[in-house]
Amino acid sequence: MSSKADNIILIGMMGTGKTTVSSILAQELGYTLIDIDNEIEVLEGCPIPILFQEKGESYFRQVESDTLCRVLKGTSQIVSTGGGSVLQAKNRELMKEAGWVIALTASAESIISRVSSNGDRPLLAGNIEERVKNIMKERKDAYSFADVTVDTSELSPEEVVRHILTLYRV
């Protein structure tokens, strides 16, 4: 795979471990760590929940696409994407062209357990269990374009990284 060495791009639902795994991967490989959500917050000068509240999800998704496009021009990066970054076809195509795409998955129960204490997730307003299950249902095929899928439900972040590195170095 010629693009394998360019970037490693982590996709997946919120709560699957993208932020933690990407940080460890970047350290292990000596790659630059880029978190798309952090990039957006710096660019917009406010936290994502405020951005959602003040400008709406469609505005956020456009900024997300623009940020992804800019970031993926770089190389030797570990890129942690937002859970919904895969919703637009142009983003999926861009990710496939720019690197090796890894989808992190987890069971609904694992995700609910991981995100239930975090009130900074605008898409989880209301009943968290119901929202997580609905989002999982809506996005059930959205991550299928990935080169590799890793279920993080029963694995520590370090175990996920070891698994990814084993596949990456093949």
Tell me whether residue 82 is annotated as binding: no
Tell me whether residue 15 is annotated as binding: yes
Tell me whether residue 37 is annotated as binding: yes
Tell me whether residue 18 is annotated as binding: yes
Q: How many CA atoms lie within 13 A of 92 on its CB side?
A: 14
Sheet of strand 148-151, all strands in order from the earlier edge strand to the far edge: 32-35, 77-80, 7-12, 100-105, 148-151
Tell me whether residue 20 is annotated as binding: yes
Contact by Cβ (8 Å): 164, 10: no
Tell me whether residue 19 is annotated as binding: yes
Tell me whether residue 16 is annotated as binding: yes
Tell me whether residue 61 is annotated as binding: yes
Q: How many CA atoms lie within 13 A of 166 on its CB side?
A: 7
- Annotated binding-site members: 15-20, 37, 61, 83, 121, 139
- Annotated binding-site members for ATP: 15-20, 121
- Annotated binding-site members for substrate: 37, 61, 83, 139
- Annotated binding-site members for Mg(2+): 19
